[in-house]
């Protein structure tokens, strides 16, 4: 059985976890669940980085000892992982003896082999980054090149790892191993860094300055630099120096997930450390982008830190996992907002997947007494849908191997949309009316079978919801890709159960504005690091667009929705039809300004209740946050009800 070992970064315990931590850990969980489904011997490691200045400082601020700070904060991470359904095989804390022992062993070994030496050091130290810089590294005189905060000048004796020795080897290794650093542009970033001469790495801190760390085995006046200590967790956790069989098994196929900010430590320090120790570099180091809040970095001082526990509690764990994985195009930055969350949830999960399930289930209950019908001869349209589903299975498997889950998920949701179109095309309700029961049975079988495969494909992303979907179809158990590859897994006659709504629609107070904002933000974040005109993951097909019916509408009357600041109720004329829309534009328009305008609406949006008031459709507006402009037509007497396309 082939092995697959995956790690997340180990998180600092100076503060509680945020959405960035949650993203990497969920990504790791989903990737390893897929590999388990591929029948591999999987080991998934996460943990906490508990030494160093950051933790010492946080402890002092909280009037705690460093270990008390660690013990209190580690629980926040462990509880969050439990809540988010993370199935890690191990959780390593760098304060555990099993880890410290190996760090000491590595240090002693390198020291004995003269790969660590003592020297006087003069440099600039960045406290938040816990890194030393030389004069030429600094920006604007004295600022850290990474975080742009002022550095402190320091002169002291320290221990150094002979990292410079491995520069040529590392450059050559990166160039000859295209999968070593992903995405490829991050490999170029590291190669760019390696254009300058690589310096030896300072791996000690005098206790007089920092006491919270692992003491050097050959000099008790010093503790080990936190990064040198932390990186070793990847080998100490699987038994390096203690359990050679276990270590060999997993080290030969190890993949590290990291954020782009810790690229240098992972793609320069770590491979050179491994080379010195006599170990192979990891197979892959995958650097993902950052979650931004709007366009800003998340930070405590800005007060925009997203708490994953709150999100999971408010919207459900599986929906949160789905959003994080599908919204971030792997490698690039992504923008987080609750509005973007709700927009994606409503579109992919409530409309596409949830709707497809309730259609298949309701029709099976109504016409086949709740039992999966036996399929007859397949027609072209049935085979086409099965074809698209089979493509989604292949795409998902490929995306797992390439660590590009967002692409696989996109294809699976594409198959769900195709299934909804299939329902429109085959019109089972008409078949029932005409009494064509055999054909109806085939259609419902194909629809349910498609749902079975889709649910299997999405099970690692949304374990609980997909188990519920499968249970509804009368199926249980975990799937392997092999089970999903062949349509025909559902057994005719199997009883299914009724389900209300797998993903009930979520209604935000003012649904129009965020959607417009979301689109621009998403696009900008993607454009930042992509040169393509339409970044991948953002492009939609003409079929997707064709599903949206845009129409002109004339505003007949407007009043405020009682008890709200933001909402207006608009009475519209849409051709010969009258309808009502609720919209969050009260801050921007007075009711009397709106009457008579010809606006653009999405006419085929499912009706929803907003603050108890029925809303049939949605108007289009461009919003910047503090400005808003309705989309109108440029001829004031233009008729209403006219399709736009």
Q: Which residues bind ligand MSP (CB under 6 A)?
A: 9-12, 20-21, 23-24, 49, 230-231, 258-259, 261-262, 290-291, 298
Nearer to ligand MSP, 21 or 417 (CB): 21
Nearer to ligand MSP, 324 or 395 (CB): 324
Nearer to ligand MSP, 213 or 623 (CB): 213
CB of 323 to ligand MSP, least distance (A): 14
Q: Say if CB 273 and CB 264 are below 8 A apart.
A: no
Nearer to ligand MSP, 333 or 397 (CB): 333
> What is the token pair recorded at 519?
């689109």
CB of 407 to ligand MSP, least distance (A): 19
Cα torsion 104, 110, 113, 118 to 10°: value is -100
Chain residue at closest Cβ approach to ligand MSP = 259
Classify 50 as helix, strand or coil. Answer: coil
Nearer to ligand MSP, 24 or 615 (CB): 24
CB of 436 to ligand MSP, least distance (A): 53
Phi-psi region of 537 (alpha: psi -120 to 50; beta: other; left: phi over 0): left
For residue 630, what are the β-bridge partners? 621
Helices (H), 506-632: 512-529, 542-546, 591-594
Rounded CA gap, 308 and 117, in Å?
Answer: 44
Nearer to ligand MSP, 236 or 459 (CB): 236
Phi, psi of 282 (to 5 degrees): -65, 160
Nearer to ligand MSP, 101 or 261 (CB): 261
Nearer to ligand MSP, 133 or 290 (CB): 290
CB of 291 to ligand MSP, least distance (A): 4
Nearer to ligand MSP, 147 or 499 (CB): 147
Nearest residue to 448 (alpha-carbon basis) of 501, 385, 494, 490: 490
Nearest residue to 645 (alpha-carbon basis) of 518, 513, 556, 543: 543
Q: Say if CB 537 and CB 589 are below 8 A apart.
A: no
CB of 230 to ligand MSP, least distance (A): 4
Cα torsion 314, 319, 325, 328 to 10°: value is -60
CB of 24 to ligand MSP, least distance (A): 6
Cα torsion 461, 465, 469, 475 to 10°: value is 80
> What is the token pair recorded at 99?
């880890």
CA torsion sign for 542, 544, 548, 549 is: positive
CB of 297 to ligand MSP, least distance (A): 7
Nearer to ligand MSP, 92 or 630 (CB): 92
SS (H, E, C) 587-630: CCCCHHHHCCCEEEEECCCCCEEECCEEECCEECEEECCCCEEE
CB of 261 to ligand MSP, least distance (A): 5
CB of 99 to ligand MSP, least distance (A): 11
Count of CB atoms situated within 10 Å of the CB of 65: 13
Rounded CA gap, 404 and 389, in Å?
Answer: 19
CB of 324 to ligand MSP, least distance (A): 10
Nearer to ligand MSP, 257 or 506 (CB): 257
Residues 6+ apart with CB under 8 A from 454: 353, 389, 392, 412, 415, 416, 419
Q: Say if CB 551 and CB 642 are below 8 A apart.
A: yes
CB of 421 to ligand MSP, least distance (A): 36
Nearer to ligand MSP, 270 or 588 (CB): 270
CB of 28 to ligand MSP, least distance (A): 11
Q: Say if CB 447 and CB 422 are below 8 A apart.
A: yes
> What is the token pair recorded at 46?
């996460």
If you count them, how many residues does the chain have?
645
Q: Say if CB 285 and CB 184 are below 8 A apart.
A: no
């Amino acid at each position: 059985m082939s092995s697959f070992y995956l790690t997340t970064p180990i998180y600092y315990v100076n503060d509680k976890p945020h959405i960035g931590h949650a993203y990497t850990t969920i990504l790791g969980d989903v990737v390893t669940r897929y590999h388990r489904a591929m029948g591999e011997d999987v080991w998934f490691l996460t943990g906490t980085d508990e030494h160093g200045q950051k933790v010492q400082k946080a402890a002092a601020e909280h009037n705690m000892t460093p270990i008390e700070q660690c013990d209190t904060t580690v629980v926040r991470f462990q509880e969050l992982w439990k809540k988010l359904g993370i199935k890690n095989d191990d959780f390593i804390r760098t304060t555990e003896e099993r880890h410290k022992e190996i760090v000491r062993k590595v240090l002693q070994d390198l020291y004995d082999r003269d790969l660590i030496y003592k020297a006087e050091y003069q440099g600039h130290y960045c406290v938040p980054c816990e890194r030393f810089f030389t004069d030429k590294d600094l920006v604007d005189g004295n600022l850290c090149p990474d975080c742009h905060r002022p550095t402190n000048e320091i002169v002291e004796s320290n221990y150094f790892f002979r990292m410079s020795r491995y520069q040529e080897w590392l450059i050559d290794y990166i160039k000859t191993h295209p999968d070593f650093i992903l995405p490829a542009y991050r490999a170029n970033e590291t190669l760019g860094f390696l254009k300058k001469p690589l310096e030896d790495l300072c791996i000690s801190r005098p206790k007089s300055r920092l006491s919270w760390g692992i003491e050097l085995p050959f000099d008790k006046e010093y503790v080990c630099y936190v990064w040198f200590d932390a990186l070793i967790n990847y080998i100490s956790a699987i038994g390096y120096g203690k359990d050679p069989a276990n270590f060999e098994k997993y080290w030969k196929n190890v993949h590290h997930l990291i954020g782009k900010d810790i690229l240098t430590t992972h793609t320069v320090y770590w491979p050179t450390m491994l080379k010195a120790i006599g170990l192979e570099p990891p197979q892959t180091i995958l650097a993902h982008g950052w979650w931004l809040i709007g366009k800003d970095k998340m930070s405590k001082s800005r007060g925009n830190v997203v708490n994953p526990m709150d999100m999971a509690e408010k919207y459900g764990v599986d929906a949160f996992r789905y959003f994080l994985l599908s919204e971030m195009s792997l490698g690039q930055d992504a923008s987080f907002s609750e509005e973007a969350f709700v927009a994606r949830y409503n579109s992919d999960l409530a409309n596409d997947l949830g709707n497809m399930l309730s259609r298949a289930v309701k029709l099976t209950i109504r016409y086949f007494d709740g039992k999966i019908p036996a399929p007859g001869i397949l027609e072209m349209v049935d085979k086409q849908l099965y074809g698209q589903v089979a493509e989604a299975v292949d795409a998902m498997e490929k995306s797992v191997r390439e660590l590009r889950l967002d692409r696989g998920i996109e294809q699976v949701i594409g198959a769900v949309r195709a299934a909804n179109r299939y329902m429109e095309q085959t019109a089972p309700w008409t078949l029932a009316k005409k009494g064509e029961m055999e054909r109806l049975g085939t259609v419902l079988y194909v629809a349910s079978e498609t749902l079975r495969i889709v649910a299997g494909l999405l099970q690692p992303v949304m374990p609980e919801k997909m188990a519920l979907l499968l249970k509804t179809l009368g199926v249980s158990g975990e799937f392997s890709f092999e089970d999903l590859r062949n349509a025909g897994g559902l057994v005719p006659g199997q009883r299914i159960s009724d389900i209300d709504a797998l993903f009930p629609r979520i209604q935000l107070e003012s649904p129009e504005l965020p959607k417009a904002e979301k689109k621009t933000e998403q696009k900008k974040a993607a454009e930042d690091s992509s040169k393509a005109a339409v970044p991948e993951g953002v492009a939609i097909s003409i079929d997707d667009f064709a599903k949206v019916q845009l129409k002109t509408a004339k505003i007949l009357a407007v009043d405020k929705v009682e008890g709200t600041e933001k909402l207006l109720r608009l009475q519209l004329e849409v051709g010969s039809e009258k309808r009502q829309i609720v919209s969050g534009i009260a801050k921007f328009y007075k009711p009397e300004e709106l009457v008579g305008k010809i606006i653009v609406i999405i006419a085929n949006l499912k009706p929803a209740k907003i603050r108890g008031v029925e809303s049939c459709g949605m108007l289009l507006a461009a919003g910047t946050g503090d400005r808003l402009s309705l989309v109108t037509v440029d001829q004031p007497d233009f008729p209403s009800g006219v399709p736009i396309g």
